[in-house]
Each structure stands twice: as structure tokens, then as C-alpha cells.
Amino acid sequence: MPNLTIDLDWLDEKCQLYEDNWTANRSGPNVVIAFAIELLQPTDLHLPMLIESLIEVDIERVWMEWRTKISKQPQDHSAADWLGQLLVVPRLVDYVTAISKHSIDFSVTESLLRTEYRARQEWGDAPRWDIALSAWPNLPKLPGKPARHRVEVRSKEFPFPRAFDLCD
């Protein structure tokens, strides 16, 4: 069995380096993979752990950037215009598809799913947990608190209602 210990300080340092140099033009699935492969060989058993950490950073930043961009635009766009812009934001499935093209042994983790869900709740389209999981039908059912109330919020910067699940 291979030794998969990794220096967590090294991992934190590399994620911080990625985050410090993050820009909207240098983000997304292909950039994450290229950055990771610069640091580790594609056959390195630590590569999936590094990629997972970088994806978590990238997802949070991509959704935050999208929301910032949307909030600076004129408010006279139709909901269809806003939804069209929403479709270009990379989702976790896009990262996994890009990784698979590099023959890297990588599996989606609960941490990644929850990271994307949290970022979309805070900065994006705020899907329900079951909707967020629907892109991953082969995963075992992940625990999630059932919604007690569904609250819709409208704001000037987001032209159609965003709904949030409120739980105990």
C-alpha cells in the first residue's frame, strides 16, 4: 500500500499561491489542472489531493467573481440574459470532465460537493441540495438536512428570486 502522507504546510502553501495569483482570466478547470501538474507529476499519488484543494479555492473564487460582475452590470437585463451568463460559470462536473481527459485517478468527494453548494448558495444561483446532487446520480445518497422552509430572496443585483433552504 503506498504511503500517501503529504506535507499539509506544502499543500496550504500551494493553495495560497494559487489563490494569491487568481484572476478571472486564469481560472477554471484547465487552469487548475495545469497548475497542479506543474507542481506534481501526473502519476504522483498526491495529485488528486492537490487538485481537490485547488478546485475548492477556484470554485469559491469563480462564483464570487461572477456575483461581483453581475452586481456591476446595468439592472435592465432580462432573466434570460442573467441565466445565460450563469451558464458560463464552471461547475464541479466541468472540473471532473477536464480531469478525466488527463487520465488522473480522481473521485468527487463530499467536501467538493459541499464546497460548490456553499459557493452557489452564497454567490450564485442557490440551488436546493437535492438539485445540486442531481448531477451526481452514481454517488451514494449524501446526508443533508431536510428543508423546513424555503425562502425566496430578491435583490437589485440578482433579477430573479434566489431560494434558500432554512433548516433546524
Long-range contacts of 94-97 (CB under 8 A, 24+ apart): 94/28, 94/29, 95/29, 95/32, 95/55, 95/58, 95/59, 97/29
Using pLDDT thresholds of 50, 70 and 90, give the confidence band for residue 146.
Answer: very low
pLDDT, tens only, 79-94: 777 778 888 899 999 9
Report the distance separating Cα 55 and Cα 33, nearest Å: 9
Task: Look up the pTM and report it.
Answer: 0.79
What domain range is 83 assigned to? 8-166
Across 80-84, 88-92, 103-107, 155-159, least confident range: 155-159
Is residue 85 domain-resident?
yes
Is residue 1 domain-resident?
no
Q: Supply 97's cell numbers.
A: 470532465
Q: Please compute the mean of the pLDDT values over residues 19-44 and round it to a whole number.
A: 93
| pLDDT surpassing 70 at residue 118 | yes
Give the model's pLDDT for residue 84.
80
> β-strands 149-155, 158-166: how paired?
antiparallel
pLDDT, tens only, 41-80: 988 889 999 999 999 999 999 999 988 888 787 777 777 7
| pLDDT surpassing 90 at residue 32 | yes
Is residue 3 domain-resident?
no
| pLDDT surpassing 50 at residue 12 | yes
Using pLDDT thresholds of 50, 70 and 90, give the confidence band for residue 166.
Answer: very low
Q: Are 98 and 29 in contact (CB under 8 A)?
A: yes
Mean pLDDT, the chain, integer: 81
Q: What type of residue sits at position 149?
A: H
Is residue 51 domain-resident?
yes
Is residue 38 domain-resident?
yes
If one counts the domains in the chain, the total is: 1
| pLDDT surpassing 60 at residue 109 | yes
Higher-pLDDT residue of 2, 89: 89
